[in-house]
Structure 1
Amino acid sequence: MTSNSARVARHPPWRTSPSGRTVGGMAITGIIGSGHVGSTIARLALGAGDEVVLANSRGPETLQGLVEDLGPGASAATAAEAAARADLVVVSVPLTAFGSLPAAELAGKPVLDTCNYYPDRDGRIPELDSEETTTSELLARALPGAHVIKAFNNINFHHMWTLARPTGSTERSVLPVAGDDPTPEAARAKQLVIAFLDRVGWGAYDVGPLAEGWRFQRDTPAYVRPYDPDELAYWPPRSDGRQVTAEQMAELIAGAKRYRDM
Structure 2
Amino acid sequence: MTGMEVGRPRIAILGVGHVGSALARTMLDASYEVAVAASGDPKKIELIASVLMPGARAHWAKDAVADADIVVLAIPLHRFSSLDHRMFDGKIVIDTMNYWAPTDGVQALFEDTPLSSSEVVQGALAGATVVKTFNHIGYHEMEEERRPAGSPDRRALGVASDDPQVAALVGELVDAIGYEPIVLDGLAEGNAFEPGGPVFGARLTAPEFERAVTVDAVA
TM-score (norm 2): 0.90
SS at match of 2:72: strand
> Which amino acid is 1:162 matched to?
E
Report the alpha carbon displacement of residue 206 of structure 1 after superposing the two structures with TM.
Answer: 1.6
Q: Which amino acid aligns with 2:197?
A: T
Q: Give the C-alpha shift of residue 125 in structure 1.
A: 3.6
Distance in 2 of aligned mates of 1:131 and 1:178 = 19
Alignment of 1:203-222 (within 5 A): 203-222=180-199
Alignment of 1:91-170 (within 5 A): 91-125=73-107, 128-170=110-152
CA separation of 1:128 and 1:251: change in aligned 2, threshold 3 A: farther
Deviations 1:32-62 (A, max 9, x none): 1111111101001100111211011133122
Contact 1:103 / 1:142 at 8 angstroms: preserved in 2?
Answer: yes
Distance in 2, Cα, partners of 1:86 & 1:70: 21
Q: CA deviation at 1:129?
A: 4.4
CA contact (8 A) 1:178 1:210 kept: yes
SS in 2 for 1:178: strand
Q: Indicate conservation of the 8 Å contact 1:154/1:217, yes or no.
A: yes
Aligned to 2:212: 252
Higher mean C-alpha deviation, range 84-93 or range 163-172: 163-172
Runs of 4+ in 1 over 6 A off after TM superposition: none
- Aligned match of 1:238: none
Q: Determine the structure 2 residue equivalent to 1:202.
A: 179
1:88 aligns with 2:70: yes
* Pair 1:178 & 2:160 matched: yes
Larger Rg: 1
Structure 2 CA distance for partners of 1:254 and 1:128, relative to 1, 3 Å: farther
Distance in 1, Cα, partners of 2:61 & 2:33: 16
Tell me the amino acid that sits aligned with residue 123 of structure 2.
Answer: R
Residue 130 of structure 1, CA deviation: 3.4
Report Cα offsets for 1:221-258 as digits up to 9, x if no partner.
2111x22xxxxxxxxxxxxxxxx21110022223448x
Instruction: From 47, 56, 60, give the equivalent of 1:74.
Output: 56
Partner Cα separation in structure 1 for residue 118 and residue 58 of structure 2: 25
Distance in 2, Cα, partners of 1:101 & 1:208: 28
- Give the deviation of 1:126 after TM superposition: 5.2
CA gap of 1:212–1:127, structure 2 versus 1, over 3 A, is farther
**Which position in structure 1 is the counterpart of 2:47?**
65
Deviation of 1:77 (Å)? 0.9
- After superposition, the C-alpha distances for 1:126-179 in whole angstroms (9 at most, x for unaligned) are 564434112111211221110100000011011111111223333321101111
Find the residue that maps to 2:213 and give its secondary structure: helix
| Residue 103 to residue 129, structure 1, CA distance change in 2 (3 Å) | closer
TM-score, length basis structure 1: 0.76
Query: Superposition RMSD on alpha carbons, in Å?
Result: 2.1
Please tell me whether residue 192 in structure 1 is matched to residue 173 in structure 2. Answer: no
Q: 3-state DSSP class of the match of 2:39?
A: coil
Task: Give me the whole-angstrom Cα distance separating, in 2, the residues matched to 1:125 and 1:256.
Answer: 26
Q: 1:167 to 1:173 in 2, by over 3 A?
A: same
Give secondary structure in 1 for the equivalent of 2:45: helix
Amino acid at match of 2:23: I
Percent of paired sites with the same residue: 35
Mapped contact 1:109–1:189 kept (Cα < 8 A): no
